[in-house]
Amino acid sequence: MNKLFGFFAMGVIMLTSCSEAQNAEQPWIVDRFDDIKVIRYEVPAFENLTLEEKELVYYLSEAAKCGRDILFDQNFKYNLAIRRTLETIYTESEVKTGDEFAAFEKYLKKVWFANGIHHHYSNDKFAPEFTEAWFREQLAKYINEENRQMDDELLCKIIFDKELYASRLNQKEGVDVITESAGNYYEGVNQAEVEAFYNGMAAADANNHEPISYGLNSKLVKENGKIYEKVWKIGGMYSPAIEKIVYWLEKAATVANPKQKEVIEALIKYYKSGDLKDFDDYSVLWVKDTDSNVDFVNGFIESYGDPLGRKASWESVVNFRDVEACKRTEIMAANAQWFEDNAPINPNYRKKEVKGVSAKVITVAMLGGDCYPATAIGINLPNADWIRKEHGSKSVTIDNITYAYDKAAQGNGFAEEFILREEDRERAKNYGKLGDDLHTDLHECLGHGSGQLAPGTKGDELRTYSSTLEEARADLFALYYLGDEKLVEIGLIPTLDVAWSQYSDYIMNGYMTQLSRIELGKDVEESHMRNRKLIAEWCYEKGKAENVIELVKENGKTYVVVNDFVKLRKLFGELLCEVQRIKSEGDYEACKALVEGYAVKINPELHKEVIERNKALNIEPYGGFVNPEYELVTDAEGKVIDVKLTYPANYVEQHLHYGKEYSFLPSLN
């Protein structure tokens, strides 16, 4: 549950593309369509790695690309069949011109970006802008018995019937979130049956000191009246792709250092067994490896895509340490106990001893699965509370990704449009990037790892609201401490203006500017967006009597202005106290009231205004990436002597290449 996506503050919202006319001067932006820009990222200092480290990056990167089909299938059971059909039409088409084909190409680009036919953030199914008649003509021309992936009638119904499989993830209050979500984690079961199935497992395991994350790596189905799990492992569901992942992990183990070799071999064991105890063993080994320069995430990790927060999507990130930037996270880690001891929460919910806090700034070398093309800018793992308590966690801030966003953003006009006061714009200019980086560091390094559950609380009581509350908890921790003089004292910031810049950005984004990413008339559904809205609107309401946050109307435009940063920090602390209490006690009703009261519904007039102002700037609200490419360089005897790094700049070509070379699953699984 612990990712920080790069949309949380104005400094990142400003990291969006320029107008079409500026594209020639924007080599960082390789494609633009719909509400999306595609950016290339660089891998600085790769040349400084040892040969073994370069090889390790190569093998881990190959493994990262081999799981792509898994995520498509997890997102929706027909995604692979649809994607392959669309790719066949695209590559075989004799005429790649005209409005219909342009609309078809945009649709395919969106499918690639979202790893399926539902929007990667809103979860709503895409509406095609090409006609059904035109599409049926293409099916007749280019799809035959040899390359047909699914029934044509069902395919057209899925694409063109807006009510069918309308949302990948439906978490609306009062609906059966399992039967109303199109995600492929469950089949033939309803919410009550799912909860009963896993509650039974948890009850049988109640006395286990090391509780298992039941359901993390399986699809739950009911067939012939029997409910059972299809486990994702070699020999089980998704086996053809997992076999390829393991092949490259085995290669990686041959060039890894002894400690990391043990980690990789533990992951391979888990992929072969599917046993979640093996996953926990791997996670403990992984979190304890804080010395390896090259590191990676690979597996079924995050549960945002499951309406009950139980099933994990497949993802991978390959990275290595940014030595210079790591100095700030090392300072945080060294002071972790001080932060925990001084948190504005009930002392009973503070950790008495903070263990194993490991934080670093990384350079990403490859993104895969649920981290590609869109990725987080910070990650904190593992997710299991008992591992975090007893063994600690590893936190990363991804510096080369935020740098790429920054380069793609120059001159977009966002600050001039949405920040009212010149003093706030100047503060953002001087301290915005540092504030963003430190917020991410604090969120991942300390926020997610802080606090503890009360005796008797299992950790799954908050159900559909758990991800939103956990992200709010980590954000509030980061926001509260950004405004602490302790950060000046230990040399992380030169002045509290860094915090005030972040406060202005965060409140403006949570209350207003993030709404540009939501279709007019829709509610807020995504957990990170709910989290930011919850914090901003709660603080606005609670500080209204003292005018802490003000909504200013000027020239027909709305501006969100923070008038008292010190009082706002106090509000952050008060909300953090309550959010930690809710998590520690598993108070579902209080959590529901908080989320439904502040995080879901949108003011329609403000929503319309934000969309129109954002559209006038030609700013796409979402960004994602093309990956670099690596090639082994060998001598005459076939011995590896180097690894060549290149930067492709064609979004379409990369996805067609991945579809051809890294697609191992059947169209229906």
Query: Looking at residue 308, what is its pLDDT?
Result: 93
Alpha-carbon span 275 to 262, nearest angstrom: 17
Alpha-carbon span 121 to 370, nearest angstrom: 12
Query: Looking at residue 294, what is its pLDDT?
Result: 97
Q: 334 pLDDT exceeds 50?
A: yes
Q: 302 pLDDT exceeds 60?
A: yes
* Average pLDDT for 226-231: 98
194-198, 448-452, 626-630: which range is least confident on average? 448-452
Are residues 136 and 36 both part of a single domain?
Answer: no
pLDDT band at residue 651, thresholds of 50, 70 and 90? very high
> What proportions of the chain, in percent to the nearest 5, are helix, strand and coil?
50, 15, 35
pLDDT band at residue 62, thresholds of 50, 70 and 90? very high
Query: Looking at residue 15, what is its pLDDT?
Result: 31
Q: Establish if 420 belongs to a structural domain.
A: yes
* Average pLDDT for 638-653: 96
Are residues 161 and 21 both part of a single domain?
Answer: no
Query: Looking at residue 660, what is its pLDDT?
Result: 97
Q: 1 pLDDT exceeds 70?
A: no
Which of 625, 649, 664 is the endpoint of a domain? 625
- Is residue 155 packed enough to be buried (19+ CB in 10 Å), middle (13-18) or exposed (0-12)? buried
Are residues 547 and 426 both part of a single domain?
Answer: yes
Q: Which residue has the higher pLDDT, 318 or 332?
A: 318
Are residues 7 and 117 both part of a single domain?
Answer: no
Query: Looking at residue 4, what is its pLDDT?
Result: 54
Are residues 18 and 111 both part of a single domain?
Answer: no
Q: State both tokens at 298.
A: 């690979």
Are residues 446 and 590 both part of a single domain?
Answer: yes
Query: Looking at residue 445, what is its pLDDT?
Result: 80
Query: Looking at residue 356, what is its pLDDT?
Result: 67
Query: Looking at residue 34, what is its pLDDT?
Result: 93
Single out the residue of 74, 245, 100, 289 nearest to residue 168, CA to CA: 74
Q: Establish if 409 belongs to a structural domain.
A: yes
Query: Looking at residue 449, what is its pLDDT?
Result: 84
pTM attached to this predicted model: 0.81
Query: Looking at residue 411, what is its pLDDT?
Result: 67
Query: Looking at residue 22, what is its pLDDT?
Result: 32
Listed in sequence order, the residues at least 6 apart from 77 whose beta carbon sits closer than 8 Å to its beta carbon are: 184, 187, 668, 669
Percent share of the chain, pLDDT over 90: 78
Give pLDDT tens digits for 359-401: 788 999 999 999 999 998 888 888 888 898 889 888 788 989 9
Give pLDDT tens digits for 253-281: 999 999 999 999 999 999 999 999 999 99
Query: Looking at residue 380, what is its pLDDT?
Result: 80
Listed in sequence order, the residues at least 6 apart from 134 whose beta carbon sits closer than 8 Å to its beta carbon are: 100, 104
Give pLDDT tens digits for 584-620: 999 999 999 999 999 999 999 999 999 999 889 888 8
Single out the residue of 476, 625, 632 nearest to residue 539, CA to CA: 476
* Average pLDDT for 94-115: 97
Q: Establish if 586 belongs to a structural domain.
A: yes
Contact 118/76 with Cβ under 8 angstroms? yes
Alpha-carbon span 509 to 435, nearest angstrom: 14
Query: Looking at residue 662, what is its pLDDT?
Result: 98
Give pLDDT tens digits for 535-555: 999 999 999 999 999 999 999
Query: Looking at residue 17, what is its pLDDT?
Result: 28
Q: 172 pLDDT exceeds 90?
A: no
* Average pLDDT for 59-72: 98
Which of 168, 201, 221 is the endpoint of a domain? 168
On average, the pLDDT of the chain sits at 92
Q: 12 pLDDT exceeds 70?
A: no
Q: 165 pLDDT exceeds 90?
A: yes
pLDDT band at residue 26, thresholds of 50, 70 and 90? low
Q: Which residue has the higher pLDDT, 348 or 412?
A: 348
Give pLDDT tens digits for 178-201: 999 999 999 999 999 999 999 999
Query: Looking at residue 568, what is its pLDDT?
Result: 98
Query: Looking at residue 27, what is its pLDDT?
Result: 79
Are residues 428 and 472 both part of a single domain?
Answer: yes
Total domains, the chain: 2
Alpha-carbon span 257 to 304, nearest angstrom: 33
Are residues 82 and 40 both part of a single domain?
Answer: no
Q: For the chain, give the number of residues.
A: 669
243-247, 521-525, 569-573: which range is least confident on average? 521-525
Give pLDDT tens digits for 135-157: 999 999 999 999 999 999 999 99
pLDDT band at residue 533, thresholds of 50, 70 and 90? very high
Query: Looking at residue 403, what is its pLDDT?
Result: 86
Query: Looking at residue 376, what is its pLDDT?
Result: 86
Are residues 24 and 100 both part of a single domain?
Answer: no
Q: Establish if 431 belongs to a structural domain.
A: yes
Query: Looking at residue 18, what is its pLDDT?
Result: 29
Are residues 514 and 401 both part of a single domain?
Answer: yes
Are residues 527 and 464 both part of a single domain?
Answer: yes
Q: Establish if 71 belongs to a structural domain.
A: no
- Is residue 48 packed enough to be buried (19+ CB in 10 Å), middle (13-18) or exposed (0-12)? exposed
Q: Establish if 447 belongs to a structural domain.
A: yes
Q: 21 pLDDT exceeds 50?
A: no
Alpha-carbon span 247 to 634, nearest angstrom: 20
Are residues 29 and 145 both part of a single domain?
Answer: no
Alpha-carbon span 248 to 242, nearest angstrom: 10
DSSP 232: B
Range of the domain at 127: 78-168
Q: Establish if 361 belongs to a structural domain.
A: yes
Residue 120's SS3 state is coil
- Is residue 297 packed enough to be buried (19+ CB in 10 Å), middle (13-18) or exposed (0-12)? buried
Q: Establish if 214 belongs to a structural domain.
A: no
Furthest C-alpha separation in the chain: 77
* Average pLDDT for 92-99: 94
